Amino acid sequence: MENSNLTREDILRWFKSQKSPKLSDTSLQDAIEDGFGDWESSARGFGISYIVLGSLAIILNSTFLYTLMARKRTTFAHTFYIMILNFTLIDTLKGICSILFALKLLKSDMGTTDSLWTIRVDQYSGLLLRFSNLATILNLLMITLNEYIFICHPLRYSSLVTKGRVVLFVIVTWIISSTFTLANMVAGTMSKSIMIDQECTINANSTSSCVININSSTSSHFAYHVGLIVFCAVCFAITACSYFILLRVISSLVQADMKQNAEFEHLKTGEETKERHVIRRHKYVVVIGSVIVVYSAYLMTYAVIQIIHLVNMSQNFATNRQNSTVYVKYVCYLYISLHSLLQPLCYLRMREFRALLKRTLFCGRFLRRESVITENCYVTSARNNSKHTSV
């Protein structure tokens, strides 16, 4: 099968093969004609948003990726930096997919005869985006367990979390994500409803006779999406339990520290220290709470997309409801694009990573400043020596 030109008649023919028996040909065509104008304006708005968020995500993640690769000794010496390196690669892929996904939404006229190159790009970008989403879920689960072990079992952290195990987990994550992606591609091929014959498009003047409708079972596709929904629910449960325990542990540690130093700090600074401790405790709660919100929203968004796929597989589905689910799906994709930008910002909560980023990006300024200071010191010492010699 190959890309070719697909006219409005071809699209109408495909909709006729998929429509409910209660919907007549005239009402179906009127619905398509009326919906094209409103949908095109909304689609362009979504497309511009995807491109903006994808570009920002690529710039930010590329900056972090450059920082990590420029400091290889520091990066590969700490397990957490290896996890961040894996995150930046996946988020960069998600940013690229957001831009590719937006190309089909920015066409000048989405209803006229046009090349199917956008369909092919959409297929490959969707395949890559599906892999990136699955890898993101597993990576977030990995980093959640890493924080749980680091806070709840600090003495055993170095023995439990090693570089070899982290690299092995990353490899397993990529293998699992690739396997699920290929499984979805096979399931989609089995339940495909429209195909274009390559030989027919070469010899024929119109592609109307080259559209082949295939009605096959969708049980494998249904099982795949249900499995993803269950997988998201399990990951959400593990993450919620882990962060709930982390909040309790951190709160108890902060309270113990406050009780231990309460008398000394009260004598030293009075009520101001108490306020600083409250702010410190709230800082931990806000940081971990923000991670929970971002991760939970991502899991729920991806689960909603799978539910929409299941709903769209229904044969008796009204046109107005179908339009509403399309808007919901693209809003969910909008948050996925936003997540590839929000997730890297969570790394900046680490003081060590901020220092590493500053040393890498502003290394030239620091070196020039140090050289100027060294030169000034050398000139000053030389002048002092000359004065002592003359005396």
What CATH number should be reported for the domain holding residue 328? Answer: 1.20.1070.10
Q: At 207, phi and psi to the nearest 5?
A: -95, 5
| Residue 270, domain member (yes or no) | yes
Question: Are β-strands 194-196 and 211-213 bridged in parallel, bridged antiparallel, or unpaired?
Answer: antiparallel
Reading the chain (391 residues) residue by residue, the pLDDT tens digits are 334 344 444 444 444 444 444 445 455 455 545 555 556 677 788 888 889 999 999 999 999 989 888 888 877 788 888 888 898 999 999 999 888 888 877 765 554 444 566 677 777 888 888 899 899 888 888 888 888 888 888 888 888 888 889 999 999 999 999 988 888 777 666 655 555 555 555 554 544 455 555 545 567 777 878 888 888 888 888 888 887 887 787 777 767 666 666 655 555 554 444 444 444 555 555 666 677 778 888 888 888 888 887 877 765 554 455 566 778 888 888 888 888 888 888 778 777 788 888 888 887 554 445 444 444 443 344 445 444 444 4
Strands (E) located in the chain: 5-6, 114-115, 194-196, 211-213
Question: pTM for this structure?
Answer: 0.70
Rounded distance between C-alpha atoms, residue 11 and residue 7, angstroms? 7
The token duo for 383 is: 């002048």
**What's the total number of domains in the chain?**
1
| Residue 373, domain member (yes or no) | no
Residue-level pLDDT at 172: 93
| Residue 108: strand, helix, or coil | coil
| Residue 386, domain member (yes or no) | no
Structural domain containing residue 242: 5-353
| Residue 365, domain member (yes or no) | no
| Residue 166, domain member (yes or no) | yes
Closest-CA residue to 167 (of 241, 62, 75) = 75
| Residue 159, domain member (yes or no) | yes
CA distances from residue 387 to 373, 375, 390 in whole angstroms, order as listed:
21, 18, 5
Rounded distance between C-alpha atoms, residue 29 and residue 180, angstroms? 37
Q: How many CB atoms lie within 10 A of CB 332?
A: 19
Q: How many CB atoms lie within 10 A of CB 379?
A: 10
